[in-house]
Structure 1
Amino acid sequence: MAADLTAGPAFPARASRKKSRTAGPSPSSADESRRKGTGAWAAVGRILSMSAMLVALFASVVLIVIPVATGSQSYTILTKSMAQKFPPGTFMVMKPAAFDELKYGDVITFQVYSGRPDVDTHRIVGFGSTQSGEKTLITKGDNNGANDPEPVRAIQVKGKLFYAVPYVGFVANALGNSDRGTWTVLAAVGLIGYGAITVYRSVRKPRGSKDPAGAVA
């Protein structure tokens, strides 16, 4: 019998084996993710810090710097006589004004009795004069039903309304109403110093923050 030499031996085909591998983050990508997360929180921190600094600077300018620079005096509304516009707790900055320049509708702070520390802050609703011809003011609280019983003389006037800030007066009262000079200086220095430190920390560039250049394979 002749053997067919054209047909070679049959060998089983090798099945290609594919190794399934679970993809996971490489160390470099994990580090990058952490850096991104840290950077995001750092940005939020900078925004909050800058916001706090701006509020502190605004407070120091409006409540301290401007009154001191203009020679104004600050008072706090304690009663409802000037509600609704100026409720209790309103911080009132009263600027010196010439008596002859005061006009109808102006809000003024005046001594209830000349030479005594008690003061009221009411609105001018009219003018009068004494028997000797001295000019006087007729005042009234916006929320009161009648005019103040006594006219106001020039010597009693402490100032005319410059501007008012709602509710801040409660904090001022806690610091003391009789003499705020020392508290004013300390608060101004503290707020401005805080603002300067915050600005410095926000704008300075931390060391080592630049990413190293990647190596070329």
Structure 2
Amino acid sequence: MSGRRKAEVPASPLSVIGTGVSYIALCLAALAALALVVVPMVTGSQTYSVLTSSMAPKYAPGTFLVVKPVPFEELGIGDVITYQIESGSPAVITHRITAIGAEQSGEKVFTTKGDNNDVEDELPVREVQVKGKLFYAVPFVGFIANGLGNSDRGAMAQWGAVALMGYGVIVLVRGALAKKRNDGETGDDNRNTDDDPFVFPDLGPALVESEQSDFDDPILTDCDGCDHGHARDNTSTGRHRVETRKYTTV
């Protein structure tokens, strides 16, 4: 096996675009799951959808509202609150506090008004009616929530969060496996004979005698009465030793 490296095949533009779109979709899905499901669950907030234009244009119809419970004493003028039209009734209104007053009994009450309304709400808002203060809002998502309905919204949100997290895990695992596979292929291409003791090096064409002889041990032989001009040894027999070499045909 030679140590030559294979040419890398460049990624196609469509592949690069597809990968980028997938990661962007994954990021958006993660943000959506965080904003619409995780944060409300962790903070104990409630979610609502705007149905009218009383708080337009900032909170137009279809806006998804996350309302967080806060102590009644911490609410003040300018806060957007969600409150029950009547205590114990499921119908709610989300308006802004415009004034703080007190009943004859000394009970603290709020005067509220829709940002897009010309007049303030007719009845004051008592503590028992308040569901919480607006935490944050997400435009347009309320239309989807309205389509699911109030009874199915919570379960669908949880299953949606699970689906989004599962999709994220699948994308991350696939990316890790693809990277590992590409690294393995690159490592195989770069491997040479020094890295594998079981791979014999490519020595190229057969070596000539002068080159191959460097790998062979000399053999000493005795000859008697030869005349090839080698220097004689100092023995009385007049015999000398001739160095010959053993060649191997490759």
Q: TM-score under structure 2 normalisation?
A: 0.68
1:46 has 2:54 as partner: no
Amino acid at match of 1:53: L
Q: Provide the aligned length of Structure 1 versus Structure 2.
A: 185
Q: In 2, Cα distance between the equivalents of 1:61 and 1:78?
A: 23
Q: In 2, Cα distance between the equivalents of 1:156 and 1:171?
A: 27
- Residues 148 and 179 of structure 1, relative CA distance in 2, 3 Å threshold: farther
Contact 1:77–1:92 under 8 Å retained in 2: yes
Match of 2:49 in 1: 76
User: Could you list the per-position Cα deviations for residues 77-132 of structure 1 after superposition, in whole angstroms to 9, with x for gaps in the alignment?
Assistant: 11100011111111110000111110000000000111111100000000122222
User: Could you list the per-position Cα deviations for residues 36-90 of structure 1 after superposition, in whole angstroms to 9, with x for gaps in the alignment?
Assistant: 3x54433222211111110100000011100110000011111100011111111
Q: TM-score under structure 1 normalisation?
A: 0.78
Q: Which consecutive residues of structure 2, in runs of 5 or more, have no partner in the other structure? A: 1-6, 193-201, 205-250
Q: 1:19-98 maps to which residues of 2 (within 5 A)?
A: 35-36=9-10, 39-98=12-71
Q: In 2, Cα distance between the equivalents of 1:178 and 1:131?
A: 40
Higher relative contact order (CA closer than 8 Å, sequence separation 6+): 1
* Partner SS state of residue 131, structure 1: coil
Q: Structure 1 vs Structure 2: percent identity of aligned residues? A: 49
Amino acid at match of 1:106: D
User: Could you list the per-position Cα deviations for residues 133-168 of structure 1 after superposition, in whole angstroms to 9, with x for gaps in the alignment?
Assistant: 111110000000100001011111011010111111
What is the root-mean-square deviation of aligned Cα atoms in Å? 2.3
1:129 has 2:108 as partner: no
Q: In 1, Cα distance between the equivalents of 2:142 and 2:133?
A: 17
The structure with the larger Rg is 2
Q: In 1, Cα distance between the equivalents of 2:117 and 2:152?
A: 29
* Partner SS state of residue 100, structure 2: strand
1:167 to 131, 137, 140: 140
Shift, 1:208, TM fit: 5.7
- Residues 179 and 159 of structure 1, relative CA distance in 2, 3 Å threshold: farther
- Residues 98 and 45 of structure 1, relative CA distance in 2, 3 Å threshold: same
